[in-house]
Structure 1
């Protein structure tokens, strides 16, 4: 695999897939890179696919596509801190228009209402029924079947994901893509993470009611682990996890959830477990359902790569 400042065919194909699908999780990204490696005989070491993509492929690809107002970024889910995504965003849109030219005006209207209901809700989530009722209240004619199909597409395209208690929340892709619009339109309903300072919709909240500190789950994982490791060589077990600002002890359930989830991840990278947020317990069924939906697109991509390869062989 030669080092070049020019885009090779496999780079161009990666761009095409990102423009089509919008986002990939780590598993989907690895599968896609493995498929491209087989086709183009790329020298990508097994289990080193993500590092190669982020350190080698991504800088070159972004260098070429940034001039068109497009960028591929890595982002972590707010709800499931071990879920990493690579998202293709349009970085030139100062306000909300359509998420994608392939969406109809009706679909865009549904998402705009969904976005409003999620962000203005105290728990930053919404029941699908509330979205449907909000659409009807806006005099937008739509059947329940049509609404269900639109919501399924939003799930599939990684604009929303499942929260607890059969609710929907914003996907990391939506937050990243829509952050300028969200910050301009809903500034009184959002926060910045105390650790990374980036936009935060859902996260962990300080136990002190007079403290306004909010932290991403992924940032909290690094913060709590850093505190835990600070006494790793001591015979005394770490028990104090203070707020980074007011220093009051952080909610014990949050700390246990974060440390347990990330300890499982450290022990086995292939197993992703989830924690709790706002003291609500989730089950693994939600992630299994999301992974099933998310993998449909990548399977289609693999079939297309194989078919293209077969066509090339036939031409030869």
Structure 2
């Protein structure tokens, strides 16, 4: 018989469910307010709390997960729904065209070989939803033309813009510092399995998907490394800074005040039922919406790669509200 959670455990869960993903300092502050203990100096206690929470959440196929936002390098915590059935799909408030539009944006970002991790507003609004119909139908329509539902075919630019605003507001997407559209913290929280199942190149250092990353200057090399992982890799190296894959010199300027506490550089490690708490030097955490005849200005980015796992994302949104 599992041990019951205390009111402090429930409060931690409720904080994430009601507010959505929280930055590590915000989540740590809540933990300190509830327990009187700082996670930085009481790591074992903090890990024990998260392990106990995940043991209980596993009974309802949910998980408290830590993950790193690849745009700012900060660690966040959130709760996800691990179920991806047709029943849970009914819980989303997004329409079918909005989901298709979101999937198209994600796919366009993932297909960028330069790993910029973003797409311009214009390119996003020019994405065509017919590609998502082809993706979903797959081999079922090889013998004839694919029927594009009117809801997708007539999804206008203004409707796309409204969907874009909602997805940013709900943290599935974000506005990057250079004014483009990137993945929001909810996407990084929920899409870990999608990244792996669709062979998104991973960071050479942390092995997580390299959505926003630096790429090797050797055009024939596929190595990509997150900016914050580059700091970890090169900041304390006295010798040359070379690509760990091909050996090409990596042009990396070490920022000032680079010596950061190791604790701040490590991933958040959220223990699960099968993963006991570990000590200060922890292993990396398992982190863990297009037929529009209107065109804005420039050529649009087309995305047609299968991404059925993305349907789970909007289902999870319902469980987090």
TM range (shorter): 0.5 to 0.7
1:63 CA displacement: 0.9
Pair 1:56 & 2:48 matched: yes
Larger CA deviation: 216-225 vs 132-141: 132-141
1:49 CA displacement: 8.7
> What's the C-alpha RMSD, in Å, of the aligned pairs?
3.5
Cα distance in 2, alignment partners of residues 196 and 169 from structure 1: 21
1:135 CA displacement: 5.5
From 50, 59, 64, the counterpart of 1:67: 59
Which residue of structure 2 aligns with residue 209 of structure 1? 219
Cα distance in 1, alignment partners of residues 257 and 97 from structure 2: 39
1:19 CA displacement: 2.9
1:85 CA displacement: 0.8
Distance 1:66 1:91, change over 3 A: same
Describe the SS at the equivalent of 1:17: helix
Cα distance in 2, alignment partners of residues 173 and 49 from structure 1: 28
Equivalent pairs, count: 238
Which residue of structure 2 aligns with residue 163 of structure 1? 176
Pair 1:249 & 2:215 matched: no
Cα distance in 1, alignment partners of residues 94 and 102 from structure 2: 10
Distance 1:221 1:92, change over 3 A: farther
Distance 1:66 1:136, change over 3 A: closer
1:189-240: CA deviations, max 9, x gaps?
x20221222322221212222322112223222211342xxxxxxxxxx352
1:44 CA displacement: 1.9
1:133 CA displacement: 2.6
Contact 1:127 1:168 survives alignment (8 Å): yes
Describe the SS at the equivalent of 1:196: coil
Cα distance in 2, alignment partners of residues 99 and 203 from structure 1: 35
* Residue correspondence of structure 1 range 89-100 to structure 2 within 5 A: 89-93=80-84
Cα distance in 2, alignment partners of residues 116 and 62 from structure 1: 31
Report the TM-score when normalising by structure 2: 0.62
Cα distance in 1, alignment partners of residues 211 and 172 from structure 2: 14
Contact 2:31 2:38 survives alignment (8 Å): no
Which residue of structure 2 aligns with residue 235 of structure 1? none
Contact 2:21 2:185 survives alignment (8 Å): no
- Answer 1 or 2: higher relative contact order, Cα 8 Å, separation at least 6: 2
Report the TM-score when normalising by structure 1: 0.62
Runs (5+) with no aligned partner, structure 1 = 228-237, 270-316
Cα distance in 2, alignment partners of residues 214 and 196 from structure 1: 11
1:288-312: CA deviations, max 9, x gaps?
xxxxxxxxxxxxxxxxxxxxxxxxx
**Which protein is richer in helix relative to its size?**
1
From 225, 229, 236, the counterpart of 2:235: 225
1:127-162: CA deviations, max 9, x gaps?
123222325775243463x54453343334332223
Pair 1:125 & 2:125 matched: no
* Residue correspondence of structure 1 range 1-316 to structure 2 within 5 A: 5-33=3-31, 37=33, 42-45=34-37, 48=40, 51=43, 54-81=46-73, 83-93=74-84, 101-122=92-113, 123-134=116-127, 138-142=152-156, 144=158, 147-184=160-197, 186-187=198-199, 190-227=200-237, 238=238, 240-252=240-252, 255-256=253-254, 259-260=255-256, 262-263=258-259
Contact 1:29 1:50 survives alignment (8 Å): no
Contact 1:242 1:248 survives alignment (8 Å): yes
1:47 CA displacement: 7.4
